[in-house]
């Protein structure tokens, strides 16, 4: 099965942005605004899905009754996160955008597709929180944001293992993404946003990635990149899983995914040793290389 991806999301590209980007040194307020923007996406995502899919829809998709109930609890958690961060930021809090979650999916059943995207969204949110923690200096806020992060991580693990019967984690460490690397994940569902939202500390000069997963999302699967790449530089593919990226030289426009199980990000860079905003040729893409929940190892 061939899957086509554009603008990092499993499918849709953003047509608007959460706030006008302005490159500058990130502050604690920036970090709180950034994770609040993600919380708005999550809250809208779960609220929208639960309004569309009742208990019978979940049952018809093969899920036991308690699954929808747990998703209701997750939606309540996201509402609590939004309220806490909004209160912490006061007048500088970002407001929710208008979102379009009607995206293409490799899974035909709409409820199963919702579960599929929920697992990915939680992974993206966890990575964004991990990247934002370094900018939070106030001990009280740092503790609170870490407490939110721990719950988001539990959401992802529950969806992957209890609901999808797949791996609850990818490895010993989560994968942090900085603001620039997370930004396209943040905006993938936006259609319009309040003009009063403060700018976020990101650099949109990094082009979004467009690629074809020729074998689907599988370990060792072939990836063909359609994004325009510079021809005068040595390029590498950086695979991000955990704290230490792995690099592979990129020859032409094709490569294979590594034999790594779980959630994996990849991006094209001009470096073979470090990933940062200066050497990224494309923004990262996310691929989900699951292994069974009862597997002894990935």
For residue 151, give the CATH number of its domain. Answer: 1.20.1260.10
Closest CA to 286 of 7, 42, 2: 7
pLDDT at 12: 31
CA separation for the pair 2, 13 (Å, rounded): 19
25 class by beta-carbon count within 10 Å (0-12 exposed, 13-18 middle, 19+ buried) = exposed
Looking at the structure of the chain, the number of domains it has is 2
pLDDT at 5: 37
pLDDT at 220: 86
pLDDT of 63 strictly over 90: yes
The domain boundary, picked from 149, 165, 192, lies at 192
Q: Are residues 40 and 185 in the same domain?
A: yes
94 within 8 A of 33, measured Cβ to Cβ = yes
Q: Is the C-alpha dihedral spanning 59, 64, 66, 72 positive or negative? A: negative
- Could you report the per-residue pLDDT of 81-124, keeping only the tens digit for each? 999 999 999 999 999 999 998 766 778 899 999 999 999 999 99
Q: Which residues of 209-223 are buried (b: 16+ CB within 10 A; e: fewer)?
A: bbbbbebebebebeb
Q: Are residues 184 and 228 in the same domain?
A: no
pLDDT of 170 strictly over 80: yes
- Could you report the per-residue pLDDT of 196-212, keeping only the tens digit for each? 999 888 876 788 899 98
Q: Are residues 95 and 234 in the same domain?
A: no
The domain boundary, picked from 164, 192, 220, lies at 192
Q: Are residues 231 and 173 in the same domain?
A: no
Q: Are residues 49 and 109 in the same domain?
A: yes
Task: State the DSSP string of 160-220.
Answer: IIIIT-B-S-SSSS-----HHHHHHHHHTTEEE--TTSPPPS--TTSPPPEEEETT-S-TT
Q: Are residues 265 and 223 in the same domain?
A: yes
Q: Are residues 157 and 81 in the same domain?
A: yes
CA separation for the pair 232, 125 (Å, rounded): 35
CA separation for the pair 34, 244 (Å, rounded): 24
The region of weakest confidence among 20-29, 55-64, 224-233 is 20-29
pLDDT of 2 strictly over 70: no
CA separation for the pair 33, 39 (Å, rounded): 10
* Within a domain: 158: yes
- Could you report the per-residue pLDDT of 127-139, keeping only the tens digit for each? 999 999 999 999 9
287 within 8 A of 123, measured Cβ to Cβ = no
Backbone phi, psi, residue 235, to 5°: -115, 150
CA 136 to chain centre: 21
pLDDT at 15: 29
Domain span at residue 63 reads: 17-192
Q: Select the highest-mean-pLDDT range: 8-22, 70-84, 203-217.
A: 70-84
pLDDT at 297: 59
pLDDT of 3 strictly over 70: no
56 class by beta-carbon count within 10 Å (0-12 exposed, 13-18 middle, 19+ buried) = exposed
- Could you report the per-residue pLDDT of 36-57, keeping only the tens digit for each? 999 999 999 999 999 999 999 9
pLDDT of 148 strictly over 90: yes
pLDDT at 17: 38
Q: Are residues 23 and 156 in the same domain?
A: yes
Q: Are residues 107 and 64 in the same domain?
A: yes
pLDDT of 261 strictly over 50: yes
Q: Are residues 139 and 224 in the same domain?
A: no
Residue 72: pLDDT band with limits 50, 70, 90: very high
Q: How many residues does the chain have?
A: 298
């Amino acid at each position: 099965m061939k899957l086509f991806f554009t603008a990092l999301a499993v499918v849709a590209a953003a047509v608007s942005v959460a706030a006008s980007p302005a490159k500058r040194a990130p502050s604690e307020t920036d970090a709180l605004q950034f994770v609040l923007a993600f919380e708005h996406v999550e809250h809208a995502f779960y609220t929208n899905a639960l309004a569309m899919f009742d208990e019978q829809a979940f049952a018809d998709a093969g899920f036991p009754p308690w699954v929808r109930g747990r998703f209701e609890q997750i939606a309540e958690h996201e509402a609590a996160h939004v309220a806490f961060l909004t209160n912490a930021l006061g007048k500088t809090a970002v407001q929710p955008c208008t979102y379009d979650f009607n995206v293409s999916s490799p899974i035909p059943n709409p409820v199963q597709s919702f579960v599929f995207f929920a697992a990915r969204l939680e992974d993206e949110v966890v990575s964004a929180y991990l990247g934002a923690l370094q900018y939070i200096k106030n001990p009280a806020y740092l503790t609170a944001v870490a407490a939110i992060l721990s719950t988001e991580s539990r959401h992802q693990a529950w969806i992957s293992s209890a609901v999808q019967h797949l791996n609850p984690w990818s490895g010993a460490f989560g994968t942090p993404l900085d603001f620039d690397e997370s930004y396209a994940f943040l905006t993938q569902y936006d259609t319009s946003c309040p003009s009063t939202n403060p700018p976020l500390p990101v650099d949109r000069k990094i082009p979004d990635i467009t690629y074809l997963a020729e074998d689907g999302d599988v370990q060792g699967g072939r990836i063909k990149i359609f994004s325009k790449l510079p021809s005068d530089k040595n390029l590498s593919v950086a695979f991000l899983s955990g704290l230490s990226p792995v690099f592979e030289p990129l020859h032409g426009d094709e490569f294979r995914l590594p034999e790594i199980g779980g959630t994996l990000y990849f991006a094209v860079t001009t470096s073979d040793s470090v990933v940062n905003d200066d050497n990224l040729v494309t923004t990262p893409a996310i691929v989900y290389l699951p292994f069974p929940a009862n597997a002894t190892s990935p």
